[in-house]
Amino acid sequence: MNILENISLKPYNTFGIDKTARFFVVVKSVDELKGAIQWANHQKVNTLILGGGSNILLTQDQQALVIKIELEGIEVVREETDSVWVEVGAGINWHEFVLTSIENNWAGIENLSLIPGTVGASPMQNIGAYGVEIKDVFHSLKALNMDTLELEEFEAERCAFGYRESVFKHDLKGKYVISSVIFRLGKTPTFHTEYGAIRETLEASGIKDLSIKAISDAVIHIRQSKLPDPKEIGNAGSFFKNPTIPVTHYSSLKQDYPLIPGFPLPDGVKVPAAWLIEQCGWKGKRFGDVGVHSKQPLVLVNYGNGDGADIKDLAEKIQQSVWDKFNVPIHPEVNFL
């Protein structure tokens, strides 16, 4: 195990923020992960677990041991007539796993194509897009207890999945490290084309016979047309979650803003945060080296040498303006560090 000191984290976060890790190590096995945690305990330094770095905003140098998770492997662990259970290492790139699933005709995650990050982070966030969430295909995961250094198994109920939420973001935050995830995928696909522009994109492409690859290609096309590539401009994808508000509040807003979109849910109405932010005039605004993307107001960007503290400040100003105009709170998906 090679513990490095004073390492720039710029290559390890999609915002491209140049902050330093006091200590840094890459782990490729559970044993190496255990060793890294033991080392940190012995040195009396905190640990920070890092996956793809696509859902973090570095606002300061990290006085900790940053552990970069690179646990790999994709293995079929069970198979039945209609389903296949696939165990995937936490360090595997999410989109690469989606492409592998499509190659093997495993259905269920094609709508989640091109979401940045790693497999290990996917249940933490309960990532979702275009009518599908991780919880829909999740079977279980293995996670290392950072106190006992024992692997534990978590089934869906124990994960307490919610909208971009899980127990790992709240009660168990910083207490476990996910090492692998088992997904239950289908051999016969159920297509989800009713969300976003999927159906229109398929029609424009002349697709007559639906397939999981066709849907994946459509999702990739939509995401690439709306979202900037982190390799070209620093960003973490959607920065804010879409808020759900009471029906009465939505009805009141509808009177003042007839064009406000809304999606009925059992507990209220989900309103697109992008619409709220755009109505407040933030779309395309730039402040030095940070700003709001010109095509998608949900995306905050680093144009080159932006600082995480400046992006945090911009995010807070956006939140305040949405609250002042609509009396609607919007919350970040991104974790501030």
pTM of the model: 0.86
Q: What is the pLDDT of residues 145-163, one digit of tens each?
A: 999 999 999 999 999 998 8
Known catalytic residue at 87: no
CA 308 to chain centre: 18
Task: Give the mean pLDDT of 298-314.
Answer: 95
Give pLDDT tens digits for 29-39.
999 999 999 99
Sign for the pseudo-dihedral over CA of 40, 44, 49, 50 = negative
122 is catalytic: no
Per-residue model confidence as pLDDT tens digits over 255-280: 999 999 999 988 899 999 999 999 99
Helix (H) or strand (E) holding 24: strand 20-27
- Asked if residues 91 and 69 have their Cβ atoms less than 8 Å apart, the reply is yes
Strands 234-235 and 300-302 come out as antiparallel
Whole-angstrom CA distances from 126 to 132, 156, 169, 174, 179 are 10, 11, 10, 17, 16
Identify the pLDDT of residue 91: 96
**Side-chain half-sphere of 213: how many Cα atoms within 13 Å?**
7
| Residue type at position 196 | G
The pLDDT of residue 196 is above 80: no
pLDDT tens figures, 65-97: 999 999 999 999 999 999 999 999 999 999 999
Flag whether pLDDT at 198 surpasses 90: no
* Active-site option among 32, 110, 133, 333: 333
Walk me through the domains of the chain, giving residue ranges and CATH numbers: 4-69 (3.30.43.10), 74-226 (3.30.465.10), 234-336 (3.90.78.10)
Cβ–Cβ < 8 Å for 283, 277: yes
pLDDT band at 23 (very low <50, low <70, confident <90, very high): very high
Give pLDDT, residue 192.
Answer: 86
For the chain, what is the mean pLDDT? Answer: 94
pLDDT at 203: 80
Q: Is 223 a catalytic residue?
A: no
The active-site residue, picked from 164, 179, 180, 223, is: 164
Tens of pLDDT, residue by residue over 202-249, are 888 888 788 999 999 999 998 888 888 888 999 998 899 999 999 999
Please tell me whether residue 65 adopts helix, strand or coil conformation.
strand
